Chains A and B, each alone.
Chain A
């Protein structure tokens, strides 16, 4: 029973990471109808940036913030330089470009930083918390992950529902032509959407780094699980990415715990097949189609 409990806690923690990356995928998909397969690699790259700063004795939180800001800038640059020129071309072209970015970034990280695994420090203790005298499989750092991702999600809600900018972003995603007629500079807004998405990814990259074997491909599996989470929650639903992330995190934790960790990817594939077979729009999609 305690095994199940531990797996559940691990699942929640992992699920939060998937949710953050999934949020980025969803934002980008909603705005530009592109699956950003490079989402994980971009996060990896900004995390490597943080590591370099930490190596130069920069404070943890300073490096953290710099990585997040770099994520913002990175997303904007990628949209402008690589994705914008492909607007109007077949979707497959943009998919391939993001795959190219994925490879390029992993190669660059390997070339610049060396492929050997590097440790990434954690800001908080990673040993299990003591609850009621027992060690639980949930550490201070896991609490931090939980808090950080929830804060991210809440700020998204505030951004989208309560600000003018958020209104512009939603309008641009739902009905770009109509938004233009209302005077919204849709191009800039979409760039901003990518920036925010990349920010979310960078956060996830930083949160995962301490527990991962820190090498240029450490975000590959996470990207794939986040994609599953996004599909489960619904590619059009930012709220869905949180629930999808939690569900996927839990499911994969149980699969890994009871069937063996090498079966987790196939577990994710199975989840994808089931969801896409029965409810392709995901759990949280609204039925209205996309307007132009």
Chain B
């Protein structure tokens, strides 16, 4: 009975992954178009911000959820993209698309430099290394103030919209379009043979190597891809806010990105949208909450921080595959589609079906293996 239902649901969607992804992207495009047309300029600006954060979060989601590497330094890669973009605009103006591509390339290059020695690093080492980068890169900008504009930073110019459309809307559309394109590309990557390699490396590097997968290359490539996403997002952030300075790219950005990615669900490509919404709206929500409860200035400023921290902790302890994993589980439950498997690297199976395929690194555990008192 459930088998029939499953087949029926699946037959509603086209078979080819690429087609499916394009359809989804098309649907997303229509959705966003409709929204932005009806909204004020400020809301359009926010839509654009959601889109750009979705880009960087998608990259991180793939890196961590599909390839099993953790980066605490993606704020730094965003900074590289943003500064490259601003410097290009000031010193070597060229068409917007080209500037964006070069910014992505700059971040990709840095990602390459970081990823190569990092291939031998396991989780905690890589996390520590990227943490240092997140702290160190902005300081570099502080040192060379001539190029990087010091505290004030560098100004960016928004692209001129065609007649009849206001600037925020135009920029938001560009950002949304890019986000959808990036997501389609990433979705195809995940579905491809390379995606399988990434998952294999995540689950068991040694087994993957024995199966003929170039482990180091896979890890480096995944890292570079996610760094490029961050660079693109950083450039957009600079465009959105009109200025690029080190204050925007403090360590907290990297940590909030991580929290948003985890909340949305690592390994998912819909999760980044949830995370992006949180990133854009949480500061406002928390200030208004603290105002309505008259909690005072220092609380207001820090409520968002506290919430991010709580999110990371609670999600990891209670629902490791995040919002998207939870929704997927609910959806599967509702349709009784069988095993709901989420990203095994972050958390265990959220639903019915066999345990996530993480191979035992220790002797096999029996059911109810006793834990220590």
CB distance from A89 to the nearest CB of B (A): 7
Choose from B123, B133, B307 the contact partner of A95 (Cβ within 8 Å): B123
Within 8 Å CB of A264, what residues of B? Answer: 136, 139
A96/B139 contact (C-beta < 8 A), A35-B128, A111-B298 known: no
Can you name the residue of chain B whose Cβ is closest to the Cβ of A223? B131
> Are B362 and A292 in contact (CB-based, < 8 A)?
yes
> Are B345 and A220 in contact (CB-based, < 8 A)?
no
CB distance from B83 to the nearest CB of A (A): 15
Within 8 Å CB of A87, what residues of B? Answer: 371-372
The digit string for B296-315, where 1 denotes a CB below 8 A from any CB of A, is 00110111111111111100
Binds A, one of B18-26, B88-96, B251-259: B251-259
Within 8 Å CB of B129, what residues of A? Answer: 269, 272-273, 276
> Are A101 and B309 in contact (CB-based, < 8 A)?
yes
CB distance from B306 to the nearest CB of A (A): 4
Q: How many A-B residue pairs lie within 8 Å, measured between CB atoms?
A: 184
Binds A, one of B64-72, B97-105, B179-187, B223-231: B64-72
Within 8 Å CB of B365, what residues of A? Answer: 88
Those of A27-55 within 8 Å (CB) of chain B: 29, 34-35, 37
Residue with the greatest number of chain A CB neighbours at <10 A, chosen from B68, B122, B123, B313: B313
A67 to B57, CA, bound (A): 39
> Are A266 and B136 in contact (CB-based, < 8 A)?
yes
Residue with the greatest number of chain B CB neighbours at <10 A, chosen from A37, A82, A220, A269: A269
A165 to B290, CA, bound (A): 47
> Are B132 and A111 in contact (CB-based, < 8 A)?
no
> Are A93 and B316 in contact (CB-based, < 8 A)?
yes
A143 on the interface (CB 8 Å rule)? no
> Are A111 and B302 in contact (CB-based, < 8 A)?
yes
A103 to B305, CA, bound (A): 6
Task: Write 19 A-B pairs (CB below 8 A) sorted by A numbering.
Answer: A90-B344, A95-B123, A96-B70, A100-B316, A103-B259, A103-B312, A107-B302, A108-B302, A110-B302, A187-B373, A220-B135, A224-B128, A228-B132, A263-B143, A266-B132, A266-B139, A276-B120, A292-B362, A292-B363
A binding-site residues for B, Cβ under 8 Å: 29, 34-35, 37, 82, 84-93, 95-97, 99-108, 110-115, 176, 180, 185-188, 190, 217, 220-221, 224, 227-228, 231, 260, 262-266, 268-269, 272-273, 276-277, 280, 292
Further 10 A-B residue pairs, CB within 8 A, beyond A101-B309, A187-B371, A188-B373: A35-B124, A92-B70, A99-B72, A100-B310, A102-B309, A110-B298, A115-B302, A186-B372, A262-B139, A276-B121
